[in-house]
A and B are shown apart, each in its own frame.
Chain A
């Protein structure tokens, strides 16, 4: 099949694969002549129904991937599916993770441009394409993308994609490779290329991809799950296009982009013009600890946003870097899940955003940089952008859509090795990350065990499935105590959990990936405090299994309870949230405390009754109730002592006025301070300048 001339005119001659220019291709392409001609063929009601059908089809694809996938990320719907115009612009998406669908534009556009007229490849009905290259939309090597054209009677009418994280991709470490130092140690990097024709996979190619990883069978099965999602969506879209007629279908798919843009403009016009800034800090770079700054200044003028990242720290020598094509996609969650939660998601959003990223930052890394953990700095950018955009939107009729930042940091883990059934297996323990706490809201607490900052609509692991697939089981799973930002409304707490290795045939390679050990990353808002910090923690040679067998095991109320009271024997170890892979065997325990969302408002305005209810539920400690919220209560009945509470709070307000210093006096003393030198190794100039 040859690509229609109008598509060739738009996308083929100009596609620039220079990494610095790629993020410009995230924006919608100009309309093709056919898209323009058929843009208004449907009535508004017909179009609304059409758009809803696209959303339903994308959701069905995501569910297919979740049901057929093997890796945790697929099963927990830490994934995304997208539907695109014939030129590769996102028209609809199902999340999971919206940025997966947005970034899926790049491999589609790359394929159109590079292979559309290449007679050795070509694009045909039933072709199956696949990519794992972070430069072209994979975000980091584990985020693998399957994508397919939708072709009706020889006419290219649309594309679909299915993206999800793979547990192992053959990098220098299993799982995410935090220690990677260059692009060639990040694992399999496959350019967008064809892996199947006529709705069937090329088994030789799929087996070869599997062969590049530590766990070939899982890789192969998960490719098939992604492709099954795509083929389901292609089938549905072909039916729809055949019913409507190809031209009308093409016009309507494009209208999703243009109508989305109109709705985004309308919403932005409701917010106050101005510049809103936020600065957050990450405390590691992968193979080492050190502070890096992520800064964003969002200037809103009429219906346009300019996002400037000047002041963001330099590219680092490990893998906490991202390519410049990625940062803009991280705006998807604050907008699609919050400020535009009532607007169908489309790339029309990005047409209203201009992003200025200086060269050489950790968010604009060079092509040879390791980006295995690219998500970490981009999560921080998302936290900063979330905070800034919520302030932008406060004085509007959409205050009910706001929240403090949901958790951006957590300790997730992975295990790779031979399982109890003698099979090679790899998995992510996504519970503490997918089960992070939500941000506090203007009129309610954040949701406990909510979702990671990258996507609101995903689940934690199913414990039974994990235990079937790996030589370990869960020791406990709780809502993390004090694991959130305090405030008038508190952030949601993350999941606090631990695993013990059991029936390990040989050795299980276990490690973690995370950050936020020395510096929290989910800021509070309007006086609320930030979410909690989370170290790496494990116990070698514990007697937990023996205690369970003897019936003497009293499950801890929290990881804090376990480590503070040494509830089992063993060698207790504490580390940064990302610690290198280590071999674990029977009895070894690893604990992962999920992080919580930021708080909203002054702690002294929190309802004392809500404080004692949290205390009774074990979500906060006695220390927090008394010392942070200043609530007096009867420890037996949990009854609030109202007058004493009011007195304590009045005293605290007076104390603030006594201790607080006038701005100029404060700054004079403050500017004399600085962090220790070793904390600034990767920071760049301190304090330097920001936008």
Chain B
């Protein structure tokens, strides 16, 4: 049987790239997350969290055993459809989010040409 180019390639735990539409998709539910040439975070729901919600302080004062919420925030990116936590970033407040994956789509297509869908 002739091999077919897959329509989707999983490039991260919760991210696919649809080679046909050249878009990001949620790997859990297939929800579209925008153009694959852009940052997938632009298609996510974003939340700013105090790190103390995740890393519990043990004592009060300047050194609590937890990150300092004034210096450090947790930025979470969710799939708008299924709510899976796609990415977390620890950033100083106001620091730009990272464009962490900028994949060469043409090379990705060439690489997967002839592979069966995963």
Specify which chain A residues have a CB less than 8 angstroms from the CB of B95 in the assembled complex: 279, 686-687
In this assembly, does A549 line the interface, its C-beta being within 8 Å of a C-beta of chain B? no
- Interchain CB contact (< 8 A) of B68 among A482, A518, A605, A624: A518
A395 located at the interface, meaning its Cβ lies under 8 Å from any Cβ of chain B in the complex: yes
Contact with A along B65-94 (1 / 0, CB 8 A): 111101110111010101111111111111
Secondary structure at the A interface, as helix, strand, loop or mixed, is mixed
- Among A529, A536, A687, contact of B96 (Cβ-Cβ < 8 Å): A687
* Complex contact A657–B41 (CB within 8 A): no
Distance (Å) between the CB of B47 and the closest chain A CB? 5
User: 1/0 contact trace for A662-691 toward B, CB 8 Å?
Assistant: 111011011111111001000000110010
Query: CB distance A519 to B72 under 8 Å?
Result: yes
Residues of A within 8 A of B42 (CB): 663-664
Which of these, B80, B92, B104, contacts A660 with CB under 8 Å? Answer: B80
A663 and B92 alpha carbons, distance in the complex (Å): 18
Give CA–CA (A670, B47) in the complex, Å: 10
Asked if A56 lies at the interface with its beta carbon under 8 angstroms from chain B, I say: no
Known: A674-B94, A679-B92. A653 touches B83 (CB 8 A): yes
- Give the shortest distance, in Å, between A630 (CB) and chain B (any CB): 12
Q: A272-B103, A654-B83, A657-B83 are in contact. Are A600 and B13 (CB under 8 A)?
A: yes
Mark B8-49 against chain A: 1 for CB-CB distance below 8 A, else 0.
Answer: 011111100000000000000000000000000111111110
Contact string against B for A residues 237-280, beta-carbon threshold 8 Å, 1 for contact and 0 otherwise: 00000000000000000000000000000000000111111110
Q: How far is the CA of A675 from the CA of B10 in the complex (A)?
A: 36
Report B-chain residues with C-beta under 8 Å of the C-beta of A526. Answer: 12-14, 86-87
How many whole Å from A271's CB to the nearest CB in chain B?
Answer: 9
Say whether A659 faces chain B, with CB atoms less than 8 Å apart: yes
**Are B55 and A395 touching (Cβ within 8 A)?**
no
Per the bound structure, the CA–CA distance linking A527 and B85 in Å amounts to: 5
Instruction: For B14, give its contact among A527, A529, A656 (CB under 8 Å).
Output: A527
Is B102 part of the contact surface with A, judged by Cβ < 8 Å?
yes
Q: Which single member of B13, B56, B67, B100 contacts A519 (CB below 8 Å)?
A: B67
Interface size class of A (residues with CB under 8 A): 35 or more
Tell me which residues across on chain A come within 8 A of B64, comparing CB atoms.
535
Asked if B61 and A527 sit within 8 Å, CB to CB, the answer is: no
Report the minimum CB–CB distance from A686 to chain B (whole Å): 8
* Residue contact A276 to B68, C-beta cutoff 8 Å: no
Q: Which residues of B contact A654 (CB under 8 A)?
A: 83
Q: Are A520 and B83 in contact (CB under 8 A)?
A: no
Q: Is A450 an interface residue (CB 8 A)?
A: no
- A601→B28 CA distance, assembly (Å): 12
Q: Do residues B55 and A482 form an inter-chain contact, with CB atoms below 8 A?
A: yes
Q: Is B101 an interface residue (CB 8 A)?
A: yes
Task: List, in ascending order, chain B residues with CB within 8 A of A603's CB.
Answer: 85
Kindly state whether residue A3 has any CB partner on chain B within 8 Å: no
Residues of B within 8 A of A273 (CB): 103-104, 107-108
Answer yes or no: A623 CB below 8 A from chain B CBs.
yes
Nearest CB of A to B76, in Å: 7
Q: Flag whether A610 is at the interface (Cβ < 8 A).
A: no
Residue of chain B at shortest CB distance from A669:
B48
Interface string of A528-542 (1 = CB under 8 A from B): 111011111100000
B58 within 8 A of A: yes
Is A623 in contact with B96, judged by CB distance below 8 angstroms? no
Whether A281 sits at the interface, judged by CB under 8 Å, is: yes
Chain A: minimal CB distance from B90 (Å): 5
A660 & B78 in contact (Cβ 8 Å cutoff): yes
A442 neighbours in B (Cβ, 8 Å) = 13
- Contact check, B94 vs A687: say whether CB atoms are below 8 A apart: yes
Q: A663-B43, A669-B48 are in contact. List 20 more A-B contacts (CB 8 A).
A: A272-B104, A272-B107, A274-B103, A276-B101, A277-B100, A279-B98, A388-B100, A391-B100, A518-B72, A520-B72, A527-B84, A528-B88, A563-B59, A602-B85, A621-B56, A657-B78, A660-B45, A673-B93, A674-B92, A679-B70
B residues touching A (Cβ–Cβ < 8 Å)? 9-14, 41-48, 51, 53-56, 58-59, 61-68, 70-72, 74-76, 78, 80, 82-104, 107-108, 111
- The 18 sampled A-B contact pairs (Cβ below 8 Å) are A272-B104, A274-B103, A281-B91, A301-B104, A391-B101, A519-B71, A520-B72, A523-B89, A621-B56, A623-B56, A656-B78, A657-B78, A664-B42, A666-B48, A667-B46, A670-B94, A674-B92, A675-B92
Residues on A lying within 8 angstroms of B by beta carbon are 272-279, 281, 283, 291, 301, 387-388, 391, 394-395, 442, 482, 486, 488, 517-520, 523-530, 532-537, 560, 563-564, 574-576, 593, 600-605, 621, 623-624, 627-628, 652-654, 656-657, 659-664, 666-667, 669-676, 679, 686-687, 690
